[in-house]
Amino acid sequence: MQTIHINVDDNKMDILLNIIKNLKEDVVESYTISSNTSDAFFDERKQRLTQLRDDVKSGKEPMYDFDTSTDSLIEELKA
């Protein structure tokens, strides 16, 4: 298998994607689209959000209860 990296202007991306999608089924195994804009903390945030999601699902981290929080805030503001 070979890998090709192609730099394409944003306004031409739809043309390239159209070409790829119209190739025979077994020509392109897979493709990914990435942007040149760099976000130094993207992977760190992604990892933290994934961990937080897993913790919420497992019950390790409690869900934020908006209704209870707003009720408490309203009572506090009334006082």
The full DSSP string for 4-70 is ------GGGHHHHHHHHHTS-TTT--------S---TTHHHHHHHHHHHHHHHHHTSSPPP-HHHHH
Closest by alpha carbon to 35, among 66, 13, 58, 59?
A: 13
Asked whether the predicted pLDDT for residue 48 surpasses 90, the reply is: yes
Confidence at 41, pLDDT banded by 50, 70, 90: confident
Report the length, in residues, of the chain: 79
**Segments making up each domain of the chain, as ranges:** 10-78
Which residue reads 């730099």 in tokens? 7
Which residue reads 């913790």 in tokens? 55
Asked whether the predicted pLDDT for residue 1 surpasses 80, the reply is: no
Confidence at 50, pLDDT banded by 50, 70, 90: very high
Task: Give the pLDDT confidence score for residue 38 in this predicted structure.
Answer: 67
